[in-house]
Chains A and B, each alone.
Chain A
């Protein structure tokens, strides 16, 4: 406390996103995901160390930290994408809607239908744009009007105007930024509750990245977004709350983004944010 009090205000040049509209008092918000004492191991190596945090509905929560700090691991724990890695072992609770997702009676397939994910590298399927967006609907046996839902999702992903005349051409023909927005459209088509994003803009050029950032802002109206990013300006711009992971898989500080960037409690967080290490 004394340390942070004495530290000067930093990063004042970074614009913080306009949270005002969403910035309800904390206790009035609903918790969507809550982890308690989450430990994750890859074989003998510990990737997450006792992470406990609450993620609130309709927030954009940014996870930042240096490489290897466990932020992506944390993200993938939430919808159990880590199940695919044989050596991965998870201890502790990840509660989603009041249910521990690692309980025996939870089907990871059903879980992932509620918690969508967008990856670092755009990975559209080698199918038509329409089939890409309709993929989730198809596998979930969606009974409504698929074309209508495809259009809604592409509009929500700010891609509709660019692709409406070429829905039958391959998703691979799009540019990198368009592909990533296609992946976002694909993720939101089955209407999940939470969207996880694992460094969604790091493989894109600045213009494409800023489009995705604008999009994330809009998505938070309807979804809860958790985004892993290497780019601190990006975290500051788009997120409502920021969690800082530092080496060893520990969650060091988790607070309102404004607070984290302007007045962090921990000296290490300040050092990381100001670029002294990381």
Chain B
């Protein structure tokens, strides 16, 4: 009889309970499967194009063994070792970010400046940075300058305007100077100033000046040595300033602040050293390498539509970077500004409130407009109305900028909305104006979310093809764009064009290899977004 059961007996697992649990478990399995669909399809996609691009089947077993021993095994062992020790893991992550971030920064800086002509970039750089520095210096010497911020902005714009006028007359005489001097001014000087200020803020002005001076002297020494040996002085100066210096600084800081994790700093060097050692062994013993399409030629050379092994997408990569970079300059201020207005300033009621609501609804609509239609808009706006040349950087950047504008606005709005209202109230309660509240409290809190959203928008833009086709961007160019008004091409367009090439080694080799490059660019951007988000997330 049921009444004779003690309470303890009723705690067992009854059939009804078991059935309920089974339902729950099945539901969980279904959810896990749904989650895995995304990651699995990404992996399959990546594997599919990577196999075509890399052609691992053509490599000899010895080749695999060599790299397994020099690259894969040591790196895996090191990663496993670092994983268990938080301090080591932190240092490892820092070192990886510094080394690969620095290499990437150097490569992009050199490629872009080289394409746009170092002399022109130098002139623009000087005219855009000297006026704000003068304004700042004036601000330091006098007190109570309320308009320093706007003045800096205006001075930059005026400086760029002046540079546009004087660029022609100056760049001729400037051409007498060696090219590396331009890179020294563009990269080494800012790096020296940065290291100097950072060091000064921690360890006093004297040490800061010494550190900054050391960076500048190092840059000169590198230039001198490379001229003496006949190496590319410009590239080496950039590598020194944007790779060696930041890596050195970060490593030093890490040793100082996280001495327990010192070993972790070796992580990226284990990886790079392994790759170099492997290459040396393969070379030394004449081991058969895979007949891959992922070669230095692909990323460093210009296009060749006849011989697949000679085809490179360097102009396309640089074109993509310049287009997307200029697009960011155009779209981010507008998008972030619009989001700040809609979230922080626009009233909820009255005529302006209704207007703001209408705007918000239509921004969502805008986000759903097919990209081909944006191409039509770009064609009408830049080619027809403004009369710009066909397929130039400005038109491409402008069109893609319009395309990502709603994404930037929406993600910035989300970031602003996630700032607790308590903080705004607290700031207003302290007698802060709306502007002060925004600048001191709301925006710093919203930066990580905003950056994440905007960098994801960049990643979206770098893969866009359809709007560029519509505004008649060339599918193939043989040199990177030389300026904002010169014609350019982008990597996805070249992939699209090459996929129609008559030769199968283009369709099944160069296309997937270029796709791997494009995906790598995109993943690098996403990784940057994550790094930035984590960094800011930790500080607050």
When each residue 383-426 of chain B gets 1 if its CB lies under 8 Å from chain A and 0 otherwise, what string results? Answer: 00000000000000000000000000000000000001011011
Q: Any chain A CB within 8 A of the CB of B291? A: no
> Given A135-B440, A139-B436, A139-B440, are A126 and B429 neighbors across the interface (CB < 8 Å)?
no
CB within 8 A of B430: which of A87, A112, A141, A170? A112
Residues of chain B within 8 A of A111, CB atoms compared: 431
What CA separation (Å) do A231 and B288 show in the bound complex? 83
Chain B binder among A20-28, A182-190, A233-241: A182-190
A141's closest neighbor in chain B, by CB?
Answer: B144
A residues 105-144 near B (Cβ < 8 Å) are 109-114, 116-117, 119, 121, 123-126, 135-136, 138-141
> Is the pair A112, B428 in contact by a Cβ cutoff of 8 Å?
yes
- Nearest chain A CB to B46's CB is how many angstroms away? 38
Q: A87 to B347, alpha carbons, bound, how many Å? A: 11
Bound-complex Cα distance A196 to B144 (A): 31
Nearest A-chain residue to B441, judged by Cβ: A125
- Assess whether B426 is in contact with A183, with CB atoms less than 8 Å apart: yes
B425 — which chain A residues lie within 8 A by C-beta? 81, 84, 119, 123
Q: Is the interface of B mostly helix, strand, loop or mixed?
A: helix
Check B431–A190 contact: CB distance below 8 A: yes
Annotate A244-261 by CB proximity to B: 1 below 8 A, 0 otherwise.
000000000000000000
Given contacts A126-B540, A170-B540, contact A112 B431 (CB under 8 A): yes
What are the residues of chain A within 8 A of B349 when measuring CB–CB? Answer: 86-87
B362 within 8 A of A: no
Interface size on B, residues (CB 8 A): 22
Candidates B427, B431, B441; contact of A113 at CB < 8 Å: B431
Separation of A126 and B423 alpha carbons in the complex (Å): 9
CB-CB contacts below 8 Å: B70-92 with A = none
CA gap between A84 and B433 in the complex, in Å: 12
Contact with A along B133-145 (1 / 0, CB 8 A): 0000000000010
C-alpha spacing A136/B432, complex, angstroms: 8
Interface string of B430-471 (1 = CB under 8 A from A): 111100100011001100000000000000000000000000
Residue A79 at the chain B interface, CB threshold 8 Å: yes
| B348 located at the interface, meaning its Cβ lies under 8 Å from any Cβ of chain A in the complex | yes
Q: Which of B144, B420, B436, B445 lies in contact with A123, CB distance below 8 A?
A: B420
Cβ contact within 8 Å between B426 and A136: no
B429 lies within 8 A of A116 (CB): yes
B428 touches A84 (CB 8 A): yes
Give the shortest distance, in Å, between A74 (CB) and chain B (any CB): 16
Interface string of B349-367 (1 = CB under 8 A from A): 1000000000000000000
Contact A116 B430 (CB under 8 A): yes
Give Cα A86–Cα B540 distance, bound, in whole angstroms.
31
Within 8 Å by CB of A190, from B347, B422, B426, B430, lies: B430
- A81-B425, A123-B425, A125-B441 in contact; A139/B347 too (CB < 8 A)? no
For the complex formed, measure the closest distance between the CB of A196 and the CB atoms of chain B, giving whole angstroms: 8
Shortest C-beta distance, A131 to chain B (Å), equals 9
Report Cα–Cα, A172/B348, bound state, in Å: 31
The answer to whether A125 and B428 have CB atoms under 8 Å apart is: no
A83 to chain B, nearest CB (A): 9
Q: How many residues of A contact B (CB 8 A)?
A: 31
Residues on the B chain within 8 Å of A183, using CB? 426
**Chain B residues, Cβ within 8 Å of A116:** 429-431
- Tell me how far the C-beta of A123 lies from the nearest C-beta in chain B, rounded to whole angstroms: 4
**B residues less than 8 Å from A121 (CB atoms):** 422
Most buried by A among B144, B420, B428, B431: B431
Interface residues of A in 55-113 (CB under 8 A from B): 79, 81, 84, 86-87, 109-113
Question: How far apart are the CA atoms of A79 and B428 in the complex, in Å?
Answer: 10
Contact A123 to B540, CB < 8 A, known contacts A79-B429, A187-B430? no
Contact check, A139 vs B426: say whether CB atoms are below 8 A apart: no
Contact residues in A for B540 (Cβ distance below 8 Å)? 126, 170, 172
Q: Are B429 and A86 in contact (CB under 8 A)?
A: no
Q: Is the CB of A123 within 8 A of B440?
A: no
Closest residue on chain B to residue A131 by CB atoms = B440
A86-B348, A170-B540 given; A136·B430 CB < 8 A: yes
Which chain A residues lie closer than 8 Å to B426 at the CB level?
A: 119, 123-125, 183, 186
Q: How far is the CA of A84 from the CA of B421 in the complex (A)?
A: 11
Contact of A109 with B433 in the complex, beta carbons under 8 Å: yes
> For A86, what are the chain B residues with a Cβ–Cβ distance below 8 Å?
347-349
Q: How far is the CB of A174 from chain B (nearest CB, A)?
A: 15
User: Chain A 178-202, CB within 8 Å of chain B: the 1/0 string?
Assistant: 0000010011001000000000000
Tell me which of A114, A123, A187 has the highest count of chain B C-beta atoms within 10 A of its own C-beta: A123
A190 CA to B429 CA, complexed, in Å: 12
Tell which of B423, B428, B436 touches A81, judged by Cβ atoms closer than 8 Å. Answer: B428
B431 touches A110 (CB 8 A): yes
How far, in whole Å, are A114 and B429 apart by their CA atoms in the complex? Answer: 10
Q: How far is the CB of A117 from chain B (nearest CB, A)?
A: 4
If A86-B347, A138-B440, A139-B436 touch, does A125 touch B431 (CB 8 Å cutoff)?
Answer: no
How many Å lie between the Cα of A113 and that of B429 in the bound state?
8
Shortest distance in angstroms between A45's beta carbon and chain B's nearest beta carbon? Answer: 16
Q: How far is the CA of A116 from the CA of B429 in the complex (A)?
A: 6
B432 lies within 8 A of A139 (CB): yes
Report how far A112 CA is from B429 CA in the complex, Å: 6
Chain A contacts of B431 at CB under 8 A? 109-114, 116, 136, 139-140, 190
Give chain A nearest CB distance to B347 CB in angstroms.
6
Task: Give, as a whole number of angstroms, the nearest-CB distance from A86 to chain B.
Answer: 6
Subset of 6 A-B contacts with CB under 8 Å: A87-B349, A123-B426, A126-B540, A138-B440, A186-B430, A190-B430
Give B residues with C-beta under 8 Å from A. 144, 347-349, 420, 422-423, 425-433, 436, 440-441, 444-445, 540
Supplied contacts A109-B433, A116-B429, A119-B422, 20 more A-B pairs, CB within 8 Å: A81-B428, A84-B425, A86-B348, A109-B431, A111-B431, A112-B430, A112-B431, A114-B431, A119-B429, A123-B422, A123-B426, A125-B441, A126-B423, A126-B445, A135-B427, A135-B432, A139-B430, A140-B431, A186-B426, A190-B431
